[in-house]
Amino acid sequence: MTDDSSKTINASPTKEFFISMLTRDISTDRAILDLIDNSIDAATQSNKHDASIKLTINSNSLIIFDDAGGLDLQVAKEYAFRFGRSSKSPLTPNSVGQFGVGMKRTLFKIGQEFAVESRKNGVAYKVHVDVEQWLAEATIWDFHYSLLEATDLDEGQTRITVTKIRDDAQALLGDPIFQNNLGQEVSAAYFKKINAGLKIYINGELVSSDDLTVKTSQGLSCLKKQIISDDVLVTVYCGVSDRDWDEGGWYVTCNDRLVAQADQSDTTGWGINGNPKYHADFAYFRGLVEFSSSDSSKLPWTTTKTGVDRDRKIFKAALHHMSLAMKPVLTFLRDLAQEAAAVKEGTLKEAPLAASIANASSTKILVATTTADFVRPEKTLPPDGAKVAYIQYYVPIDKYEIARSALSANSKKEVGERTFDYFFTYECKK
């Protein structure tokens, strides 16, 4: 018989359940970005804007090495390896890591064995975990570290090595297409940090920043407005760039980390608040909204940083200002589409709006000259009575060739117009 005098029921989580829940809702590429976030936070904390982060990946291992300042042993012992951020853990102002799950989630998702080595304040140490062994001990959650007498790490450097790569991650990490995509994601996610001097290498290749650009000139501007709400600075930029369906939309950063890219959904205001849904005419639109706060828990990001938490009050507040900012730009783009249609049907000879985009220069949105209101050229209206009908019909090609030859015409359009004029002249009352 068991002793049930305490009348308690064991409801503590198993490690297996915990790890499976922790790692299930994040993709491998996003998990790797979480590791980079950690390095960036270290750089922010040590005020090192020109840190370099070197990522080496293949099907057997993943290594991330940085010179961002290192991880203090005391912090590692008390906070960094805890699952979830303790309320007592010291805040990193303007950090991109926030939930206290990023590094652990990545390590458990990708490999069965990992080692974290760092050297800070003259102390070098290594935390080594064999996941199978760790899981075998059901109730003890601790990891163990050892001090390193001899190490190749310099002061302020950290190296994380993941080995015994899990089956599902193995194929991915060795796949050149995955590596390319990862490069593109890194390039977009950290475009602001890279611009500010951060260097990220993937398998030895330096990643360039994938900058958001806008077209500006004297007659065409990029709008910028700022609000502060609940200790969060929100900066909204809106403008136009080259027409590109995939690139058009809203970009959202939280403490300089891109969390939503070219969003074209109602989350960022499309199809709500009187704004139209995203469509081809708006493929010129570029919007950037930056949320910055020394307290990263106030930012509207999801734990996976793959989108915004639209229910957060700060995001709803920003959405109102985003909506106001995008309206004049969308009006301009609607006018542009109407202008193109009028030019096509021949009721407008000039296209000042299209010319304003063609003649503007492309500039990185963060350094573009901005205005409080969107500056744009006035639209030109077609003259009165210029309403036209568009006619389209099919004829056998041999008959068309005979007619074209008889008319000495050079195009189908000309054949159509001149045959219509001929009929109208002789058969219609004017």
The footprint of other proteins (CB under 8 A) covers 227, 229, 272-276, 313, 316-317, 319-321, 323-324, 327-328, 330-331, 334-335, 381-382, 384-387
Q: At 412, is the secondary structure helix, strand, or coil?
A: helix
- Alpha carbons 342 and 394: distance in angstroms, whole number: 23
- What does the DSSP assignment read for 240-298? E-S--TTT-EEEEEETTEEEEEEE-SGGGTTTSTTPPPP-GGGTTEEEEEEEE-SSGGG
User: Least Å distance between CB 299 and other proteins?
Assistant: 16
Residue 385 near residue 393, CB atoms below 8 Å:
no
User: Least Å distance between CB 244 and other proteins?
Assistant: 23
User: Least Å distance between CB 316 and other proteins?
Assistant: 5
Q: What is the DSSP letter of 80?
A: I
Residue 306 near residue 252, CB atoms below 8 Å:
no
Closer residue to other proteins in complex, CB, 286/321 = 321
CA 49, 50, 56 angle in degrees (round to 5)? 120
Closest CA to 160 of 198, 121, 126: 126
What element of type H or E holds 239? strand 232-240
Q: Could you count the other beta carbons within 10 Å of the beta carbon of residue 258?
A: 23
Closer residue to other proteins in complex, CB, 40/252 = 252
User: Least Å distance between CB 381 and other proteins?
Assistant: 6
User: Least Å distance between CB 276 and other proteins?
Assistant: 7
User: Least Å distance between CB 350 and other proteins?
Assistant: 16
Q: Could you count the other beta carbons within 10 Å of the beta carbon of residue 80?
A: 21
